[in-house]
Amino acid sequence: MPTYQYACTECGHQLEAVQSFSDDALTVCPECAGKLRKLFGAVGVVFKGSGFYRTDSRGSSSSSSPASPAPKQPAKKDTPAPAASASTS
């Protein structure tokens, strides 16, 4: 069972959780009910320094939250497509 390390983005509380791969990731800090940040492969590495939590919205390499607004282009059909039956050439 792998051990995952989490750090709270709100209060900086850190915890480790032994979870299987199929378990859901922890997202809520047990201390302040803040947002937990999963430290991928960072067991033993401490994100020191003030402000790492401030970059939460920016997101570094975490795939938990898609922070970057990807411009989506909805496939609009301007031309009314004829009700195509299954008999198209």
Contacts to Zn ion by CB under 5 A = 8, 10-11, 13, 29, 31-32, 34
Complex with Zn ion: residue 52 or 89, whichever CB lies closer: 52
Amino acid sitting at position 86: A
Min dist. Cβ of residue 26 to Zn ion (A): 11
- Whose Cβ is closer to Zn ion: residue 14's or residue 19's? 14
d(CA 7, CA 29): 8
Residue 53 near residue 14, CB atoms below 8 Å:
no
Residue ranges of E strands in 1-89: 3-8, 14-18, 36-39
State the minimum distance, in angstroms, from the CB of residue 34 to Zn ion.
4
Closer to Zn ion by CB, 50 or 73: give it: 50
